[in-house]
């Protein structure tokens, strides 16, 4: 158990260091920071002075080490375009993206799991067929197109929902939240739905496939033979056993949600990290790009670790296997 967690932690650190290395290379070789800071007509003396001040004349690995130390403290220097600290820019934008991804994930689970269970239990019924067809469409429709369609229908034609920005927010220290005002929720609906649709179809298909698999097993037959009610069999036995793969995928997809938020945030002009990243890509703002990369990697690694740990908590077989293995 302890060795398992330790190995996972080590792997996570290796991934983070290699991502940090890529970010470091970005800093070093894309857009010379000295030229950017001093401008084209700096003298040789000025350039040498600044290089020494920034530590750029030191050996490669010393520089990399300093970069890692700074990155670990969330220090990525100044944004080339906005002149503000990158850590502050990302910090300001983080709550918006986090709340959007969270609401989308909850939406995907709350709608996706019941749809999947239904499609598995009432296989061949009309509604199940509809679910499956819609899910195929959901996988084939690009995210940005779903967003545009939703805006066209609910904002332009029906005029029910806003399509732009976060609406009214409430400030808790540095965290600005849109979850405590009606206006904030109204602004949340369309972007969250857009972000959730892909995950929703994925979860639905997964739950359906897993349910069908589990319903064929012997212990379900035995449960039926014992005369348990359908309800107890379906939800107490079958659904519970489908949740491990669902958990894994949801965990992995939560990271995907934050990345796909780039697209959703652009469509809805949602003031999150994704919009910041797109602006950074368009204007070649390397520090912001590198910091975003590291942050996303960190989120992925942390989520993966949590999923691994939850695995052991949820599935007793794994606990036994691990105990036996070590």
Partner 1 sequence: MSNLIARWWDGDVAYSFRRSPTAIVAAVVGLVCVFCAVFAPWVAPHNPLDLTTLELSDARLPPFWMEGGSTKYWLGTDDQGRDILSALMYGARISLVVGLASVLLSVLVGVALGLIAGFRGGWVDGFLMRVCDVMLSFPAILIALLVAGVARAKFPDAGASVAFGVLIIAIALTGWVQYARTVRGSTMVERGKEYVQAARVTGVAPWRIMLKHVLPNVLGPVMVLATIQVATAIITEATLSFLGVGVPPTSPSLGTLIRVGNDYLFSGEWWITIFPGVMLVLIALSVNLLGDWLRDALNPRLQ
Q: Which residues bind partner 1 (CB under 8 A)?
A: 15, 18-19, 26, 30-31, 137, 139-145, 148-149, 151-152, 155-156, 255-256, 259-260, 262-263, 266-267, 277-278, 280-282, 284, 286, 289, 293, 296-297, 300, 304
For residue 323, CA distances in Å to 9, 197, 314, 315, 316 come to 18, 39, 15, 13, 11
Residue 312 CB, shortest distance to partner 1, in Å, is 21
Residue 172 CB, shortest distance to partner 1, in Å, is 29
Between 143 and 201, CB nearer to partner 1:
143
Between 15 and 186, CB nearer to partner 1:
15
Of the candidates 90, 65, 64, 87, the one whose C-alpha atom is nearest the C-alpha of residue 75 is 87
Q: Which residues pair with 171 in a beta bridge?
A: 176
Residue 283 CB, shortest distance to partner 1, in Å, is 8
The two tokens of residue 262 are 């780039």
Of the candidates 253, 292, 255, 261, the one whose C-alpha atom is nearest the C-alpha of residue 22 is 292
Q: Which residues pair with 177 in a beta bridge?
A: 170
Between 31 and 245, CB nearer to partner 1:
31
Buried-exposed string 313-322: b where 16+ CB fall within 10 A, e elsewhere: eeeeebeeeb
Between 139 and 320, CB nearer to partner 1:
139
Residue 225 CB, shortest distance to partner 1, in Å, is 32
Between 211 and 273, CB nearer to partner 1:
273
Residue 16 CB, shortest distance to partner 1, in Å, is 11
The two tokens of residue 150 are 């939703």
Between 9 and 281, CB nearer to partner 1:
281
Residue 28 CB, shortest distance to partner 1, in Å, is 12
Between 6 and 153, CB nearer to partner 1:
153
Between 28 and 58, CB nearer to partner 1:
28
Residue 159 CB, shortest distance to partner 1, in Å, is 11
Place of tokens 């709550």: 95
Residue 177 CB, shortest distance to partner 1, in Å, is 26
The two tokens of residue 95 are 């709550």
């Amino acid at each position: 158990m302890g060795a398992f967690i330790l190995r996972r932690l080590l792997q996570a650190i290796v991934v983070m260091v290699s991502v940090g290395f890529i970010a470091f290379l970005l800093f070093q070789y894309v857009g010379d920071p000295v030229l950017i800071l001093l401008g084209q007509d700096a003298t040789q003396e000025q350039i040498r002075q600044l290089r020494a001040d920034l530590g750029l004349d030191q050996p490669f690995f010393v520089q990399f080490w300093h970069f890692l130390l700074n990155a670990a403290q969330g220090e990525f220097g100044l944004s080339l375009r906005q002149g503000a600290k990158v850590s502050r820019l990302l910090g300001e934008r983080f709550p918006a993206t986090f709340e959007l991804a969270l609401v989308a994930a909850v939406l995907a689970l709350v709608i996706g799991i019941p749809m999947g269970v239904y499609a598995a239990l009432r296989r061949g019924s009309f509604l199940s067929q509809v679910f499956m067809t819609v899910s195929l469409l959901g996988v084939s429709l690009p995210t940005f197109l779903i967003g545009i369609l939703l805006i066209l229908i609910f904002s332009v034609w029906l005029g029910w929902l806003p399509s732009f920005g976060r609406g009214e927010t409430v400030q808790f220290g540095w965290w600005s939240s849109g979850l405590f005002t009606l206006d904030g929720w109204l602004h949340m609906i369309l972007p969250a739905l857009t972000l959730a649709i892909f995950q929703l179809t994925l979860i639905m298909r997964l739950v359906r496939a897993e349910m069908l698999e589990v319903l064929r097993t012997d212990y379900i037959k035995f449960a039926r033979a014992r005369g348990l009610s359908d309800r107890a069999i379906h939800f107490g036995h079958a659904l519970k056993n489908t949740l491990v793969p669902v958990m894994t995928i949801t965990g992995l997809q939560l990271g995907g949600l934050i990345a796909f938020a780039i697209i959703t945030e652009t469509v809805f002009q949602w003031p999150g990290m994704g919009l910041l990243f797109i602006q950074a890509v368009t204007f070649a703002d390397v520090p912001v790009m590198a910091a975003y990369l590291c942050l996303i990697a960190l989120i992925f690694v942390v989520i993966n670790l949590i999923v691994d740990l939850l695995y052991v908590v949820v599935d007793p077989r794994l606990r036994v296997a691990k105990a036996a293995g070590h």
